[in-house]
């Protein structure tokens, strides 16, 4: 019955059978302990915790801008116990930086969760190529390498300086590939003869058409993982049933709220994901506004999992560019649209909104010309579209995708 993650959750929470309400009670007890721990270790938080009455909703939200303005205000252990500090931009690559702190224990629990999730993808004696994060101490890549090592799997870390050809060569012998959707799609369209058994997509929005392409061309199982630095990297991962994501319930509480009103939304309704990381030692975050759009699933997972699980993560809300009159353009919708075309390996997008008509400039790396008319029909009305062709390799500019404002080089 059910997957490794749900079984672990039941053991941690001391539950005999999957019971969402009993799990929630157990999590709220852990939350109360965490609030007491924050009060004891960080008196500067006392005022914001005053309203706490044992329920999650009685706590105020924590906003990314608050973390950026004063990260030390959220530190809950003496500085000497901090094993890693990660710096993350709050918005695009230009926003103010947040600093996230981890203890050895926080990093160790992340490795435990990674190992648990990876049992669904790899087995003893296999080889995994990890194409994310730098090869530095405590980087995501190293934590994942350590996790698969515990399963008897040889984890290799890709070099961020590799181009697509070098990466493809390294990927040829891998049983499992872990990486960003845009990079793996690029490799897949370069060479359909690779035969990884499994692929794990993470660290950016995952278009459905990328999953389908990898499955069909490489004949592999495709899993998606959702995580963010603020949650200690690991957060939720798909099981082999390929539907919702099984959540790291013993260490996190999740909510989906209306992004404008902050009102909690029922299962099945998409809104902003809000996360409470009650098990983090260095920097437990209470009701942290992630800026990611997702929904909770009301139905059980086909694997038999009955605990609450997370549906598709639909990308970052801040990536919705408002063109006026209710017209929204986002890199996620462009990815859905263009990656579906079999000739497209990659593309970049830039937008200029200052003009009377906003202009979108697309540079596509495609083996065939694209139909500008067909593209325009699926894009917001009144948008000028300029289509150019050229090298758009995601290996030339690594990281999360976004639409570049055309004052920048797209
Ligand atoms: Zn499942």
The span from the CA of 293 to the CA of 10, in Å, is 27
Q: How many beta carbons lie within 10 A of that of residue 36, not counting itself?
A: 12
Q: Provide the Cα torsion 38, 233, 100, 333; round to 10°.
A: -120
The span from the CA of 44 to the CA of 99, in Å, is 18
Ligand 1 centroid vs 365 CA: distance in angstroms? 36
CATH of segment(s) 1-317: 3.40.50.12780
Ligand 1 centroid vs 2 CA: distance in angstroms? 6
The span from the CA of 44 to the CA of 331, in Å, is 39
* Closest-CA residue to 284 (of 27, 38, 24): 38
The span from the CA of 35 to the CA of 54, in Å, is 9
Helices (H) and strands (E) in the chain, counts: 11, 19
Q: How high is the pLDDT of residue 1?
A: 54
Ligand 1 centroid vs 306 CA: distance in angstroms? 9
Quote the tokens at residue 197.
Answer: 């058994």
Ligand 1 centroid vs 201 CA: distance in angstroms? 17
Angle at 346 between CA 344 and CA 242, to 5 degrees: 85
- Beta-carbon contacts of residue 326 (< 8 Å; ≥ 6 apart): none
Ligand 1 centroid vs 309 CA: distance in angstroms? 9
Ligand 1 centroid vs 225 CA: distance in angstroms? 13
Ligand 1 centroid vs 242 CA: distance in angstroms? 7
The span from the CA of 314 to the CA of 272, in Å, is 10
Q: Which residues pair with 118 in a beta bridge?
A: none
Per-residue pLDDT of the chain (410 residues; tens, 9 = 90+): 578 899 999 999 999 998 999 999 999 999 999 999 999 999 899 899 999 999 999 999 999 999 999 999 999 999 999 999 988 876 655 667 889 999 999 999 999 999 999 999 999 999 999 998 777 888 899 999 999 999 999 999 999 999 999 999 999 999 999 999 999 999 999 999 999 999 999 989 999 999 999 999 999 999 999 988 888 888 899 988 888 899 999 999 999 999 999 999 999 999 999 999 999 999 999 999 999 999 999 888 888 888 889 998 898 888 888 888 888 899 999 999 999 999 999 999 999 987 678 899 999 999 999 999 999 999 999 899 999 999 999 999 888 899 988 754 44
Q: How many beta carbons lie within 10 A of that of residue 193, not counting itself?
A: 7
Q: What is the DSSP string of 334-377?
A: HHHHHTTSTTEEEEEEEEE-SSSS-EEEEEEEESS---HHHHHH
Sign of CA dihedral 177, 181, 187, 191: positive
The span from the CA of 21 to the CA of 306, in Å, is 11
Which sequence spans correspond to the domains of the chain?
1-317, 320-405
Catalogue the E-assigned strands of 231-327.
236-238, 245-247, 253-257, 271-276, 288-297, 309-316, 321-322
Q: How high is the pLDDT of residue 95?
A: 67
Q: How high is the pLDDT of residue 410?
A: 45
Angle between helices 104-118 and 140-150 (to 10 degrees): 60
Ligand 1 centroid vs 238 CA: distance in angstroms? 7
Ligand 1 centroid vs 303 CA: distance in angstroms? 4
Is residue 252 within 8 A of residue 235, CB to CB? The reply is yes
Q: What is the DSSP string of 383-404?
A: -EEEEEES---TTTS-S---PE
Q: How high is the pLDDT of residue 221?
A: 96
Rg, C-alpha atoms of the chain: 22
Ligand 1 centroid vs 128 CA: distance in angstroms? 22
The span from the CA of 34 to the CA of 283, in Å, is 10
Ligand 1 centroid vs 266 CA: distance in angstroms? 20
Ligand 1 centroid vs 115 CA: distance in angstroms? 17
If residue 12 lies in a helix (H) or strand (E), which one and from where to where? Answer: helix 4-13
Ligand 1 centroid vs 108 CA: distance in angstroms? 24
Ligand 1 centroid vs 109 CA: distance in angstroms? 21
The span from the CA of 273 to the CA of 54, in Å, is 21
CATH of segment(s) 320-405: 3.30.300
């Amino acid at each position: 019955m059910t997957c490794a993650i749900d079984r672990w959750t039941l053991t941690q929470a001391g539950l005999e059978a999957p019971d969402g309400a009993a799990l929630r009670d157990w999590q709220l007890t852990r939350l109360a302990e965490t609030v007491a721990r924050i009060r004891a270790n960080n008196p500067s938080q006392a005022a914001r915790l005053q309203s706490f009455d044992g329920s999650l909703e009685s706590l105020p939200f924590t906003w990314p801008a608050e973390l950026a303005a004063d990260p030390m205000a959220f530190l809950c252990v003496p500085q000497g116990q901090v094993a890693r500090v990660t710096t993350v931009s709050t918005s695009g690559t230009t926003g103010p930086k947040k600093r996230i702190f981890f203890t050895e224990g926080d990093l160790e629990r992340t490795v435990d969760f990674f190992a648990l999730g990876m049992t669904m993808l790899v087995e003893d004696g296999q080889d995994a190529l990890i194409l994310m994060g730098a090869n530095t101490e405590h980087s995501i890549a190293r934590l994942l390498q350590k996790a698969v090592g515990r399963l008897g799997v040889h984890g290799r870390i890709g070099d961020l300086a590799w181009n697509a050809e070098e990466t493809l060569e390294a990927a040829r012998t891998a049983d499992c590939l872990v990486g960003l959707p845009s990079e793996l799609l690029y490799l897949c369209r370069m060479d359909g003869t690779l035969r990884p058994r499994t692929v794990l997509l993470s660290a950016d929005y995952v278009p459905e058409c990328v999953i389908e392409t990898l499955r069909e061309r490489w004949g592999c199982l495709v899993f998606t993982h959702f995580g963010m630095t603020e949650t200690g990297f690991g957060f939720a991962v798909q099981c082999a049933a390929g539907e919702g994501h099984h959540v790291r319930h013993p260490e996190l509480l999740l909510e989906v709220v209306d992004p404008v009103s902050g009102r909690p939304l029922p299962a099945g309704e998409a809104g902003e994901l809000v996360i409470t990381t009650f098990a983090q030692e260095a920097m437990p975050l209470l009701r942290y506004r992630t800026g990611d759009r997702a929904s909770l699933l009301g139905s059980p997972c086909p694997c038999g999992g009955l605990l609450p699980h997370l549906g598709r993560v639909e990308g970052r809300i801040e990536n919705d560019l408002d063109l006026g009159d209710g017209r929204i353009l986002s890199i996620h919708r462009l990815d859905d649209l263009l990656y579906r075309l079999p000739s497209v390996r990659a593309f970049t997008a830039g937008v200029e909104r200052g003009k009377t008509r906003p202009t979108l400039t697309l540079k596509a790396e495609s083996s065939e010309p694209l139909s500008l008319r067909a593209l325009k029909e699926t894009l917001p009305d009144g948008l000028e579209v300029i289509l150019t062709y050229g090298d758009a390799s995601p290996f030339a500019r690594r990281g999360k995708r976004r639409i570049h404002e055309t004052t920048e080089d797209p």
